[in-house]
């Protein structure tokens, strides 16, 4: 009794459109694996979905490397683990902190402060919009003393310049619409902020007083967010 109450295959195929096959057998799509797969299975079936995170001790990639990790797993795991790494070296705040006279006299540079929702959106954006057809360019999160740079694989041909300008105003260019839709749902567990890239650009500028750098080149889409 109850053995056939829940038909996983039918649910994935008919309700979520995340599987293919016939009534006898079905196969989950890449989107299904990325969203719901066990971490070790995602690493096995979609190895190029990994993320590299690096902390440098200066303001560019030529500085000394403090820590480097490589994450693999489903999207929820990658999202949470990436934010944990960023929190290890930065303070993510809802409001811009007030100035402290003690910080100006300290010989040690203070931790960078960043707008919480902007960083959450930047990480989420990287995960759901990366171009998985490009296998040799990993997603990278690079933390410097004064900025966080997120680099994502994205085919440049046919994407720039019009599309890269349009996304600044909320005109989306979604490569993975199913992933983006499910990932942003409250039920999935990510707690992604609302407003997308326009929110990120606006709130980060207000928070730090510096514009976010957005640029594309060599099959990469890059965001550089400055802190205070």
pLDDT tens sequence across 161-197:
555 555 555 555 667 888 999 999 988 999 899 999 9
- The SS3 call for residue 207 is helix
Domains of the chain: 9-40 (no CATH), 43-226 (3.30.565.60)
Alpha carbon distance 79, 88 (integer Å): 15
Provide the b/e sequence for 113-137 (b: ≥16 CB within 10 Å). bbbbbbbbbbbbbbbbbbbeeeeeb
Question: Which residue stretches of the chain are H helix?
Answer: 8-10, 30-36, 39-45, 75-89, 101-105, 116-129, 162-166, 177-183, 196-208
pLDDT in tens, 42-55: 999 999 999 999 99
Alpha carbon distance 49, 80 (integer Å): 15
What's the pTM? 0.85
Structural contact between residues 71 and 51, judged by C-beta atoms closer than 8 angstroms: yes
Structural contact between residues 124 and 192, judged by C-beta atoms closer than 8 angstroms: yes
pLDDT in tens, 66-112: 999 999 999 999 999 999 999 999 999 999 988 765 555 665 677 89
Tell me how far CA of residue 226 lies from CA of 13, 50, 89, 145, 211, in angstroms: 43, 24, 14, 9, 8
């Amino acid at each position: 009794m109850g053995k056939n109450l829940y038909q996983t295959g039918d649910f994935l195929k008919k309700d979520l459109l995340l599987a293919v096959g016939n009534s006898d057998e079905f196969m989950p799509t890449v989107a299904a694996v990325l969203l719901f797969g066990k971490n070790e299975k995602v690493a096995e079936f979609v190895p190029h979905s990994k993320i590299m995170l690096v902390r440098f001790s200066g303001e560019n990639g030529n500085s000394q490397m403090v820590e480097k990790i490589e994450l693999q797993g489903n999207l929820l795991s990658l999202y949470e683990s990436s934010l944990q790494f960023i929190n290890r070296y930065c303070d993510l705040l809802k409001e811009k902190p007030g100035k402290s006279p003690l910080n100006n006299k300290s010989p040690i540079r203070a931790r960078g402060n960043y707008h919480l929702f902007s960083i959450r959106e930047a990480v989420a954006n990287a995960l759901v919009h990366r171009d998985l057809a490009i296998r040799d360019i990993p997603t990278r999160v690079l933390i410097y003393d004064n900025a966080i740079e997120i680099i994502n694989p994205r085919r440049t041909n046919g994407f720039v310049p019009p599309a890269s300008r349009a996304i600044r105003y909320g005109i989306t260019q979604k490569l993975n619409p199913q992933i983006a839709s499910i990932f942003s749902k409250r039920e999935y567990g990510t707690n992604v902020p609302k407003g997308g890239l326009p929110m990120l650009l606006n709130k980060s500028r207000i928070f730090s007083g510096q514009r976010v750098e957005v640029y594309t080149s060599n099959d990469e889409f890059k965001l550089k967010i400055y802190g205070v």
